[in-house]
Amino acid sequence: MSLTFLCITCYFKGGDFLRACKEAGNTVLLLTAKRTEGKAWPYESIDEFFYLEDDSNTLANFDNMIKGLAYVMRSRKIDRVVALDDFDVEKAAIVREHFRIPGMGQTTARYFRDKLAMRVQAQDEGIKVPAFSALFNDVEITEYLKSTTPPWVIKPRAEASAAGIKKVHSFDEAWQTVHSLGEERHMFLIEQFKPGDVYHVDALTLDGKVIFERSSQYLNTPFEVAHGGGIFRSVTVEFNSKDTKALKKINEQVLKAFHMNYSASHTEVIKCYEDGEFYFLETASRVGGAHLAEMVDFSSGINLWREWALIETAKAKGKGYTLPTVQKKYSGIIISLARQEWPDMSPFDDPEIVWRMKEEYHVGLIVQSDSQKRVLELMDKYAEMIRRDYHASAPAKDKPTH
């Protein structure tokens, strides 16, 4: 039985998903942003391209997208819709709802896209989250600021990673920032900033059960990298440790609370320095960005993009799915903006290096070892080398654009 998958991503990503989806015998349609035309897509795996001139998530653009797809569907039947990026989760949910295609609808999609919806649902389900408030009502905001202690972070509800987040340190600064948002303030939230170590759990879910997960720790938090011009680093958490068990538990609690049925997911959690407790930060129904999928692959032998495509296909065809054998190795990733257009990577010559980034004005590596200690040693060594000879930084934008 051949099925037609409509994959949506307005960024150049998800090549392994597209390849695996095609190899599984499906017809693959790709809806992407016009600006990605000409990128090195796996053209042999994509049967047809469709482009959005404007890929922003506005009602007008959603309406145009639906009209365009309605015309497409006169001659082509679409069986499944998959969003390969955070910014396209809403698009995919709207398409499914409108054309009555099976999969995650708009209500569930909000749990994986809207940071306010995430926090409300998690709190309602007894999952620890930093104290937060919506920015709808003046009295509620004032009461929140008086009942909690600074610093706070004001963040957009629908951006990815650390984009658009602003840290404030006093009652007056918080209100000044809220007022500066103008009519857009309802699209933001405020929460207590909890200093701590930030972790991510990358997982696969099938029939409501997490069948694979790998926990990793950011050595520099996404906020620090985005706002301080730091170097992005992440490493596998020690296997069978208390932290790994705690992260496994909270990830499973979150995905159950958010009604995840089947997909890849990327969940971020903070371990607070003050009380040692884990607090849920956010999740997404897609593979983690910044080449974390490659890092997880070298740790586990599981290609998240590929296995996600096979899970989607199995569910669509009503067939079973078997996860490949999972390995237990430690891996670490380091990525930085570089001063050089094409940095000379020859000084990085350790045998543990298994992947090198090939992108203009970037330097990046993944290492693999049986020893977490060795991975951490290499992460520190490379961070010093990059800081000295390669590192460049760009200021974070006050207002996110994509």
CA distances from 177 to 4, 158, 268, 395 (A): 46, 18, 25, 19
For the chain, helix (H) and strand (E) counts, in that order, are 12, 17
Fold of 196-392: D-amino Acid Aminotransferase; Chain A, domain 1 (3.30.470)
Give the pLDDT mean for 63-76: 96
**pLDDT value at position 397?**
53
Give the CATH H-level superfamily of domain 131-192.
Answer: ATP-grasp fold, A domain (3.30.1490.20)
pLDDT digits (tens, 9 = 90+) for 250-280: 999 999 999 999 999 999 999 999 999 999 9
**pLDDT value at position 1?**
76
Long-range contacts of 146-149 (CB under 8 A, 24+ apart): 146/171, 148/192, 149/192
Residues 6+ apart with CB under 8 A from 50: 29, 30, 31, 32, 68, 69, 72
When the pLDDT of each residue in the chain is averaged and rounded to a whole number, the result is 94
**pLDDT value at position 298?**
98
Closest-CA residue to 151 (of 128, 133, 135, 174): 174
| 361 conformational bin, left if phi > 0, alpha if psi -120 to 50, beta if neither | left
pLDDT(100) > 70: yes
pLDDT digits (tens, 9 = 90+) for 144-172: 999 999 999 999 998 765 668 999 999 99
Whether residue 32 contacts residue 49, with contact meaning beta carbons closer than 8 Å, is answered with yes
Q: Which amino acid is at 286?
A: R
Domains 4-103 and 131-192 share a fold: no
DSSP 8-class letter at 353:
E
**pLDDT value at position 163?**
67
- List the structure tokens of 91: 């698009």
pLDDT digits (tens, 9 = 90+) for 312-358: 999 999 999 999 999 999 999 999 999 999 999 999 999 999 999 99
Indicate the domain borders of the chain.
4-103, 131-192, 196-392
pLDDT digits (tens, 9 = 90+) for 173-182: 999 999 999 9
pLDDT(226) > 90: no
Whether residue 296 contacts residue 201, with contact meaning beta carbons closer than 8 Å, is answered with no
- What CATH class is the domain 4-103? alpha beta
* Residue 401 pLDDT class (50, 70, 90 cuts): very low
Burial of 85 (0-12, 13-18, 19+ CB in 10 A): buried
* Residue 14 pLDDT class (50, 70, 90 cuts): very high
Give the pLDDT mean for 123-136: 97
Lowest mean pLDDT among 43-57, 240-254, 382-396: 382-396
Residues 57 and 337: their CA atoms lie apart, in Å, by 28
Q: What are phi and psi of 369, to 5 degrees?
A: -160, 160
**pLDDT value at position 402?**
34
Closest-CA residue to 372 (of 245, 236, 243, 248): 236
- List the structure tokens of 285: 């129904």
**pLDDT value at position 399?**
47
* Residue 131 pLDDT class (50, 70, 90 cuts): very high
Determine the 3-state secondary structure of 339 from DSSP.
coil
Lowest mean pLDDT among 25-29, 58-62, 84-88, 358-362: 58-62
Q: Looking at the whole model, is its pTM more than 0.75?
A: yes
**pLDDT value at position 159?**
74
* Residue 229 pLDDT class (50, 70, 90 cuts): low
Closest-CA residue to 262 (of 207, 324, 323): 207
DSSP-derived pairing of the beta strands 4-8 and 27-33: parallel
pLDDT(132) > 70: yes
pLDDT digits (tens, 9 = 90+) for 286-307: 999 999 999 999 999 999 999 9
**pLDDT value at position 227?**
56
Give the pLDDT mean for 49-78: 93
Using the structure block, give the residue that is written with the tokens 């095609």.
22
